[in-house]
Amino acid sequence: MATPVLHLALIPGAGMGHLRPFLRYARLLVHHQYCRVTLITSHPTLTLEESELISSFCSALPQVNHIQFHLPPVDAATAKVTDPFWLQFEAIRLSDHLLSPLLSSISPPLSAVISDMILTFCLLPITESLCLPNYILFTTSARMLSFLSCFPAVHGSKSSASSASFDGEVLEIPGILPIPKSSISPFLLDPNSRFANIFMEDSLKVPKLNGFLVNTFKELEGQTMEALNGGKVVKGLPPIFSVGPLLPCEFERKDQLGTTLKWLDGQPEGSVVYVCFGSKAAMKRDQIRELGDGLMRSGSRFLWVLKDKPVDRDEEEELDEVVGDDLKESMKKQGLVVSKWVDQGDILGHKAVGGFISHCGWNSITEAAYNGVPILAWPQHGDQKLNSEIVVMSGLGIWMKSWGWGGKALVKGEEIGEAIKEMMGDESLRLKAAEVKEAARKAIGVGGNSEVTFKTLIDEWKKNNVST
């Protein structure tokens, strides 16, 4: 009997934070002897960076079949949203009738679909009609998955199989630590918001999926993974697999990084604070100036990836226009400020980096964990407070909860400077981060939990492929 060849379609959502883990997982699959991969991406992409990353991925892995799913333009007024991320999602929803013929026409026939959680609403009916197993690559934490699974409880609905309860201040979820109301995005607390409606719809469909692949590892979120798989959070959930940390790949590197690494090479070991708030978040200018002041007050060297605009394609401004001439000149003596996308994996892995001020996007947390870099959490929106809770619970970093959501209140430079000193001066934090690093590397090493899980999934797909 011939060895079965698996054909897996990966369908990421919009945004770099969603695209990167999909491409990293696709690379793992491509290098497995049984797997053939088709990557389906939306066109146009949300940002120029996404388009460039996809192009680099396809050049590095030409054996991947890349299909562009062309989207119609969506009017923001009609969609009643202005966020580019959600406009992209609306465009996909309006085109979902085109996905069924696309998936059914792929040759050889697909063995399974691995899609983004944000696409569950429109994809699940299609994969069910085609009798295709549908797995979700969950691009954030298992804690966030727990929250999503029992989300109806937040608005008093009894329509899920969860015994979670929300008293208005704390969401009690069986098997895991409670989630404070303050950690939940305000958009999700408004029952009339588009965001809350999507969460409600998706949470009810979770049990119909074939499984979740979560970019996490046992030592980081073991208790939560146990609760999910043990039926404590929601009865009847599909299997939850830890497949992380999903690491940066060669195709993600950019040429301009050489200057950044050269600067780091000249700094003492563990002396540099890396500052980055991801590809989507942008600070207001008054907060940017306070952050710059705080970095100077901390006395630490710093590498700051500065962004003062939300998702955009090409817009740039000179540094002095953003932070002011005086601060710009003083910062030159103590740090390096860049406005272009950088290879975060190489930066966090550099011996000179001893701390990370982060918005706590999940990719950033897993990369910091893999490299054992302590985090000063400063969540800006979305799932980032829930992720910050994991940073604290795991001992990977600290979180100044009084700062609230990014942009809601101005955090002064004095506070920021003191918090940086605390992070950089805490030896116990550094030791704990080193333990997390060891656990992350063990998870994806030979015989590690995530490595074993990868093989388990391949075996499951092979078995299903033979039976069909």
pLDDT of residue 463: 84
For residues 310 and 18, which has the higher predicted lDDT (pLDDT)?
18
Pair 230, 110 in one domain: yes
Same domain, 275 and 410: yes
User: Is 121 in the same domain as 203?
Assistant: yes
Which structural domain range is residue 29 located in? 6-249+444-467
Per cent of the chain over pLDDT 70 is 90
451-468, pLDDT tens digit by residue?
999 999 999 998 877 655
Q: Are residues 120 and 147 in the same domain?
A: yes
Same domain, 244 and 301: no
- 120-170, pLDDT tens digit by residue? 878 999 999 999 999 999 999 999 999 999 998 888 876 667 789 999 899
Do 392 and 423 fall into the same domain? yes
Residues 425, 453, single domain; the answer is no
List pLDDT tens digits, range 337-349: 988 778 899 999 9
CATH number, domain with residue 287: 3.40.50.2000
What mean pLDDT is predicted for residues 365-373? 98
Q: How many domains does the chain have?
A: 2
Residues annotated as catalytic (active site), given as ranges: 18, 116
Secondary structure in 3-state letters for the chain = CCCCCEEEEEECCCCHHHHHHHHHHHHHHHCCCCEEEEEEEEECCCCHHHHHHHHHHHHHCCCCEEEEEECCCCCHHHHCCCCHHHHHHHHHHHCHHHHHHHHHHCCCCCCEEEECHHHHHHHHHHHHHCCCCEEEEECCCHHHHHHHHCHHHHHCCCCCCCCCEECCCEEECCCCCCEEHHHCCHHHHCCCCHHHHHHHHHHHHHHHCCEEEECCCHHHHHHHHHHHHCCCCCCCCCCEEECCCCCCCHHHCCCCHHHHHHHHHCCCCCCEEEEECCCCCCCCHHHHHHHHHHHHHHCCEEEEECCCCCCCCCCCCCHHHHHCHHHHHHHCCCEEEECCCCCHHHHHCCCCEEEEEECCCHHHHHHHHHHCCCEEECCCCCCHHHHHHHHHHHCCEEECHHHCCCCCCCCCHHHHHHHHHHHHHCHHHHHHHHHHHHHHHHHHCCCCHHHHHHHHHHHHHHHHHHHC
Residue 380 has pLDDT above 90, yes or no: yes
Same domain, 329 and 208: no
